[in-house]
Amino acid sequence: MNLQVDLVEENSVQRFKIVGEIDAFTAPKLKECLASAENVENMQAELDLSEVGYMDSTGLGIFVGFYKAVKANGGHVKIVGVNTRLKRLFEITGLAEVMDIVMVESRDRDATV
């Protein structure tokens, strides 16, 4: 499956809308899109995963790298729209304790994935 990443700046927040599956095949595209913005000082980034149905450890690695780079430059990363399945990945790895993660509304997509 393909991956689509759209960037919109709104109220000084860089909003990345990520659509598709994040795996070893699609991760390089995601990494490239995020890398273009990760070194901006004091950047406020929001990663919307509400339309990501699958992610493996490669995706987690991309998000960790992005998080570290943004934080090192005084910025903040917020991950929104996380479904139950993706939230579990962040919890298992301990990243849910470190990163600012917001679950998707109660109509969780897991029932249709």
Contact residues for 49 (Cβ-Cβ < 8 A; gap 6+): 18, 55, 79, 80, 81, 82, 83, 86
Model confidence over 66-76: pLDDT tens digits?
Answer: 999 999 999 99
Domain ranges of the chain: 3-112
Chain segment 59-103, per-residue pLDDT in tens = 999 999 999 999 999 999 999 999 999 999 999 999 999 999 998
pTM, 2 dp:
0.86
pLDDT digit string (tens) for 5-37?
Answer: 999 988 889 999 999 999 999 999 999 999 988
Cα–Cα nearest to 50, from 8, 85, 24: 85
Architecture of domain 3-112: 2-Layer Sandwich (3.30)
Dihedral pair phi/psi, residue 14, rounded to 5°: -85, 110
Question: What average pLDDT does the segment 29-55 reach?
Answer: 92
